[in-house]
Amino acid sequence: MSTEINTPQSGQPGNEKTPAGSKISNGTIINVVLFLGLIILYTFNFFPGRTTEPSTKMQDEVAVMADKISEGAFLIAFVNSDSLMASYKLAIKMREDFDQEQRRLENDLQRRQRSFQNDVEVFQRQIQTGGISMENAQIREQELMQQQQELMQLNDTYANRLMGQEMEMNRELYEKITDLLARFNRELGYDYILGFTPGGGILHADASHDITDLVIGKLNEEYDANR
């Protein structure tokens, strides 16, 4: 769903467009126009107060963009998001740290739950054998109910902590990746670098426009240099 891309050679300016004589397939143009059409449908379906039919102006804008794409006016590449997260060393390290913290919190919660369950079983045996007075049984019951409430609150606290940690991790990764792409693209000169995920919004991407390995290499190079 993209134009032919002329990737500049290393060390050369990255603002050259598609080489002369290159052809854009009709299928590519159709895919791009369909993609732009999906954007229009999304806009009108998910933003209340808009008309249900695209305006003539918007249709004209889509037609103009399709013409530009067919003329090689845009340089477009994509990065496979799944491969990026699987091979980017910082993402791997963050995921390992997150999983370790998740296991630590889960183990702590399970340990507390086992201790609580043991206390409950002891209390039940005391009730059955008459080893505790009615007054003390009522006090102990209140204590156990309080412990149960604290465990539920602790579970929520740990879940929120992990959620916040994951959000912060994703934010940092996003900033690292977009910052590198902005700097790296000064050499490449692409107009658009798309994020491709199987099952996502981009239904097809030509492998010749895939710069995933190139981006992963740069990201890992900077990660190793800053360790």
In order along its 227 residues, the chain shows pLDDT tens digits of: 443 333 334 344 344 434 333 344 444 444 444 454 444 444 444 444 444 455 676 566 556 655 655 555 678 899 999 999 999 999 999 999 999 999 999 999 999 999 999 999 999 999 999 999 999 999 999 999 999 999 999 999 999 999 999 999 999 999 999 999 999 999 888 988 999 888 888 888 888 899 999 999 999 999 999 88
User: What pLDDT does residue 202 have?
Assistant: 82
Which residue range(s) make up the domain with 99? Answer: 94-171
Question: pTM for the complete prediction?
Answer: 0.64
Residue 66 falls inside a structural domain: no
Element (H, E) at 196: strand 192-196
In a domain, 80, yes or no: no
pLDDT at 212: 95
Domain membership flag for residue 101: yes
In the beta sheet, which residues pair with residue 186? none
Q: How many domains does the chain have?
A: 1
How many helices and strands in the chain, by DSSP H and E? 6, 2
- Give φ, ψ of 89 to 5 degrees: -60, -40
Residue 104 located in a structural domain: yes
Gyration radius of the chain's alpha carbons = 29
Burial label for 125, CB within 10 Å (0-12, 13-18, 19+), is exposed
118 lies in a domain?
yes
Distances (CA, A) of 181 to 30, 112, 118, 187, 190: 28, 46, 55, 10, 10
- Backbone angles phi and psi of 52, in degrees to 5: -80, -10
N-term to C-term CA, the chain: 38
Whether the Cβ atoms of residue 222 and residue 183 lie closer than 8 Å to each other: no
Whether 44 is covered by a domain: the verdict is no
Residue 192 within any structural domain of the chain: no
